[in-house]
C-alpha cells in the first residue's frame, strides 16, 4: 500500500500524529541548529527537546535521526529530529535523503507529520515527498508476511507544502521501476514485460506497439533476435509513444531490457548470475518515466524503445564467432555472448535514430567495468554532444542521482575492428565501458545528439541507504523526468 502524502494547515504543536518530524543543521562547532519550526517545538517542550538531543550526542549529520517521546508537551506522540547536514550545503537532495531516512526510522508508525520541506525554498516539498515515498518503499509481492511496516500517511505542515504533486509523481515512477526490477526473471519474461508496458500505456494516455519475432525478422533486428535465440521465451521490441498536442521537441529514450542474463554460452558463474534479474533496469527506468509524462503535462513528444530478451545458453544460442546483421545493415562479430546488451541496444539505437529525435538517451546495466571505475554510487555518462551531457548531469543533480562523464576516445575504435564483420562486440581487457559505448556509437548517425548512461553499478543497492532500499533502485527514472522537463520548458 502506497503512503499517502497530504497537506495539513495544523500547527506542529497541535497536529495529531504518531510522530512529528523536524529538521536540524549541523554546525562547525560540532553541534546542531534546529530548523524552523524546530525552535518553537523546542519551546513547547520547555527546552527538553534540545536538552535530549545534546545529551544524546546528536550532530545533525545528513540522514541522522533521533526519536524521543513528546511527554505530553505536544499532541504528537513523539518527535523525530532528522539531520540535514551543514546549512550551506542543504538543498533538495539533502531534504530528499533526510525524508527517506525519517521514513525508514518511522516505518512502525501510521501517521507522521513533517516540516522538513520548510528547510528549502521552492522545491523542498517535492523533494520531501519523494524522500518519504522512496524511503518507505518495500517490495513484498512474494512475502507471506509483509513485516511491520505501518506508515500510511505523511502530513506536510506549513507554507510551501502545496507543491507536492511533482514529487509524488517522480516517486511513483521510481517505485514502478523498482517493482519491475525486483520481479523474479520467471515472472517478468520479455512477453510479460511487454504486457506490462501495454497495461501501463493504457492507463497513462500513451500509445504502445509491440513487435514479436516475426515482425523483428521482417525488419532485420538481428541483434535482439540473435541474443534471444537461446531462450524458450521469445524476445519483444517494445515501443511506447507520448505525443501531446503542444509538443515543443521530440526526444527518444531507450532502455536495455534483458529480463535475465546468464551470459549465454559465455556463461557467468553462479555468484555473478544471482542478480541478473536486474539486467532490465534500463527498461524499468524508461517505463517508470513514461508512466507519468502525461500526468506531469510535459510539452515534449517522447518515444521510448525497449529491446526485451533473455540471454540463455539454449541449443540454438548464438555462439562466439557468429556474425549478426543489425537493423540498418551493420554487422557485428560476437566474440563474447555475455556482452549482449550492446547487441540489442544497437538495433534500438539505429531504429530510434531514424525517427529523427532532437536528442536520444539510452540507459543500460551494460558493463562491470563502470563499477571498477566509478563504484556503486555513480553512473557513467558517455555523450556525443557536450550540451546534452551537461543537461543530463544537471538533471541528475536535481534528481539526487550522480553521473560522471566518461570519454569516447576515437583511437580506441581500432580495438573494435573485426576481420570478419563491420565491428566486434568486445575490445581488449581494460576500458570495457568505453569499448561498449564506442560500439553503441557506431549505430548513432552523425548529427543525432546521443548519450549513454551505464547504470550497471547503481541499478541495485546492496544495503539500505536513506531513500534507497536494498534491491532495485530505479536509478535514471527521475533523471529522465528532469531532463525531459527541462527540454519541454517545464
pLDDT of residue 174: 98
Work out the pLDDT band at 123, boundaries 50, 70, 90. confident
Answer yes or no: do 61 and 137 share one domain: yes
Q: Cα–Cα distance between 219 and 127 in angstroms, integer?
A: 44
Digit-coded pLDDT (tens) for 385-441? 999 999 999 999 999 999 999 999 999 999 999 999 999 999 998 999 999 999 999
Residues in the chain: 490
Q: Which range marks the domain in which residue 140 is found?
A: 4-161
CB atoms closer than 10 angstroms to residue 415: 15
342 is catalytic: yes
Residue 470 belongs to domain with CATH number: 3.40.630.10
Q: Provide the pLDDT confidence category of residue 148 given band limits of 50, 70 and 90.
A: confident
Q: Which of 59, 61, 250, 268 is catalytic?
A: 268
Same domain, 176 and 299: yes
pLDDT tens profile 4-33: 999 999 999 999 999 999 999 999 999 999
Clarify whether residues 117 and 44 are in a common domain: yes
Shared domain check, 286 and 147: no
Q: What CA–CA distance (Å, rounded) separates 480 from 259?
A: 21
Q: Which residues contact 228 (CB under 8 A, 6 or more apart)?
A: 190, 213, 234, 235, 309, 310, 311
Domain boundary, last residue among 135, 161, 187: 161
> How far apart are the C-alpha atoms of 490 and 484, rounded to whole Å?
9
CATH number reported for the structural domain that contains residue 109 in this entry: 3.40.220.10
Are 120 and 161 in contact by the 8 Å Cβ rule? The answer is no
The confidence band for 147, taking pLDDT boundaries of 50, 70 and 90, is confident
Residue 49 has pLDDT above 90, yes or no: yes
CA distance 84 to 101: 11
Cell 562466439 appears where?
320
Rounded Cα–Cα distance for residues 490 and 486 (Å): 6
**pLDDT score for 446:** 95
Give percent of the chain above pLDDT 90. Answer: 92
- The reply to whether 157 and 39 lie within a common domain is yes
Asked whether the predicted pLDDT for residue 263 surpasses 90, the reply is yes
Report the alpha-carbon distance of residue 60 to residue 53 in Å, rounded: 10
State whether 448 and 393 are in the same domain: yes
Q: Are residues 370 and 449 in the same domain?
A: yes
Tens-digit pLDDT profile for residues 53-84: 999 999 999 999 999 999 999 999 999 999 99
Identify the pLDDT of residue 1: 57
Predicted TM-score (pTM) of the model is 0.96
Report the pLDDT averaged over residues 350-355: 98
Buried b (16+ CB within 10 A) or exposed e, 66-79: bebebeebbbbbbb
Kindly state whether residues 190 and 116 are assigned to the same domain. no
Q: Catalytic pick from 178, 342, 424, 460?
A: 342
Residue 401 neighbours by CB under 8 Å, 6+ apart: 379, 458, 475, 476, 478, 479
In angstroms, rounded to a whole number, what is the distance separating the alpha carbons of residues 367 and 480? 20
* 377 is known as an active-site residue: no
Query: For the chain, what is the mean pLDDT?
Result: 96
pLDDT at position 298: 96
Where is the domain boundary, 115, 142, 161? 161
CB atoms within 10 A of CB 411: 6
**pLDDT tens digits, one per residue of 209-239:** 999 999 999 999 999 999 999 999 999 999 9
Residue 340: what pLDDT? 98
Determine the 3-state secondary structure of 258 from DSSP: strand
Together in a domain, 266 and 355: yes
**Residue 119, pLDDT above cutoff 80:** yes
Q: Which runs of E-coded beta strand occur in 395-473? A: 403-405, 423-424, 450-454, 460-461, 471-472
If asked whether residues 245 and 119 sit together in one domain, one would say no
Mean pLDDT of 96-101: 97
Considering the domain architecture, whether residues 383 and 416 belong to the same structural domain is answered as yes
The three cell numbers locating residue 423: 565491428
Count of Cβ atoms closer than 10 Å to residue 350 Cβ: 21
Label the pairing between strands 250-255 and 322-325. Answer: unpaired
Give CA–CA dist 474/173, Å, rounded. 9
Domain shared by 156 and 195, yes or no: no
What DSSP assignment string belongs to 94-150?
A: HHHHHHHHHHHHTTT-SEEEE-GGGGSTTTHHHHHHHHHHHHT----TT-SS--S--
Phi, psi of 309 (to 5 degrees): -160, 165
Q: Give the SS3 label for residue 334.
A: strand
pLDDT for res 37: 94
Q: How many domains does the chain have?
A: 2
* Helical ranges in 143-238 per DSSP H: 165-182, 190-203, 213-219, 222-228
Among 161, 178, 206, where does a domain finish? Answer: 161
What mean pLDDT is predicted for residues 121-139?
93
Distance CA 98, CA 355 (A): 42
**pLDDT at residue number 90:** 82
In terms of Cα–Cα distance, which of 403, 196, 459, 444 is closest to 306? Answer: 196
Cell 516475426 appears where?
A: 214
CA distances from 115 to 9, 22, 32, 40 (A): 12, 5, 17, 12
- For residues 80 and 292, give the distance between their C-alpha atoms in angstroms, rounded to a whole number: 32
* pLDDT score at 250: 98
Say yes or no to pLDDT of 149 above 90: no
Amino acid at each position: 500500500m502506497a503512503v499517502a502524502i497530504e497537506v495539513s494547515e495544523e500547527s506542529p504543536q497541535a497536529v495529531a500524529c504518531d510522530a512529528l518530524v523536524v529538521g536540524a543543521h549541523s554546525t562547525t562547532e560540532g553541534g546542531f541548529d534546529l530548523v524552523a519550526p524546530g525552535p518553537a517545538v523546542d519551546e513547547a517542550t520547555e527546552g527538553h527537546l534540545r536538552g535530549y538531543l545534546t545529551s544524546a550526542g546528536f550532530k545533525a549529520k545528513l540522514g541522522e535521526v533521533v526519536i524521543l517521546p513528546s511527554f505530553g508537551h505536544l499532541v504528537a506522540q513523539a518527535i523525530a529530529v532528522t539531520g540535514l547536514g551543514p546549512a550551506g550545503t542543504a538543498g533538495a537532495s539533502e531534504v530528499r535523503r533526510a525524508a527517506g531516512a525519517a521514513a525508514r526510522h518511522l516505518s512502525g508508525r501510521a501517521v507522521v507529520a513533517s516540516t522538513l520541506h520548510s528547510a528549502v525554498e521552492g522545491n523542498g516539498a517535492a523533494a520531501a515527498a519523494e524522500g518519504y515515498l522512496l524511503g518507505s518503499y518495500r517490495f513484498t509481492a512474494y512475502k507471506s508476511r509483509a513485516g511491520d511496516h505501518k506508515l500510511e500517511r505523511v502530513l506536510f505542515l506549513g507554507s510551501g507544502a502545496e507543491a507536492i504533486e511533482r514529487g509524488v509523481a517522480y516517486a511513483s515512477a521510481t517505485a514502478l521501476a523498482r517493482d519491475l526490477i525486483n520481479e523474479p526473471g520467471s515472472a517478468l519474461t520479455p512477453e510479460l514485460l511487454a504486457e506490462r508496458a501495454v497495461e501501463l500505456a493504457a492507463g497513462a494516455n500513451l500509445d504502445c506497439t509491440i513487435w514479436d519475432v516475426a515482425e523483428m525478422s521482417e525488419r532485420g533486428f538481428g541483434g535482439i533476435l540473435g541474443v534471444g535465440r537461446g531462450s524458450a521465451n521469445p524476445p519483444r521490441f517494445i515501443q511506447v509513444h507520448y505525443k501531446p498536442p503542444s509538443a515543443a521537441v521530440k526526444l527518444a529514450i531507450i532502455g536495455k531490457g534483458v529480463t535475465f542474463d546468464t551470459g549465454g554460452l559465455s556463461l557467468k558463474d553462479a555468484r555473478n548470475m544471482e542478480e541478473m534479474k536486474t539486467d532490465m533496469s534500463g527498461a524499468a527506468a524508461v517505463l517508470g518515466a513514461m508512466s507519468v509524462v502525461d500526468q506531469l503535462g510535459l510539452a515534449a513528444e517522447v518515444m521510448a524503445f525497449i529491446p526485451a530478451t533473455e540471454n540463455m545458453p539454449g541449443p540454438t544460442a548464438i555462439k562466439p564467432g557468429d556474425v549478426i546483421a543489425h537493423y540498418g545493415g551493420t554487422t557485428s562479430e560476437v566474440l563474447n555472448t555475455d556482452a549482449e546488451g550492446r547487441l540489442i541496444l544497437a538495433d534500438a539505437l539505429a531504429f530510434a535514430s531514424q525517427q529523427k529525435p532532437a536528442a536520444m538517451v539510452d540507459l543500460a546495466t551494460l558493463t562491470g567495468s563502470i563499477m571498477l571505475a566509478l563504484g556503486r554510487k555513480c553512473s557513467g555518462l558517455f555523450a556525443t554532444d557536450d550540451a546534452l551531457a551537461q543537461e543530463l548531469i544537471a538533471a541528475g543533480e536535481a534528481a539526487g542521482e550522480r553521473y560522471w562523464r566518461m570519454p569516447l576516445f576515437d583511437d580506441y575504435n581500432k580495438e573494435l575492428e573485426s576481420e570478419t564483420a563491420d565491428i566486434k562486440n568486445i575490445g581488449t581487457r581494460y576500458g570495457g565501458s568505453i569499448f561498449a559505448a564506442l560500439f553503441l556509437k557506431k549505430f548513432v548517425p552523425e548529427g543525432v545528439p546521443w548519450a549513454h548512461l551505464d547504470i550497471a553499478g547503481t541499478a541495485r543497492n546492496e544495503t539500505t541507504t536513506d531513500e534507497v532500499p536494498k534491491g532495485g533502485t530505479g536509478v535514471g527514472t527521475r533523471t529522465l523526468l528532469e531532463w525531459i522537463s527541462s527540454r519541454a520548458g517545464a
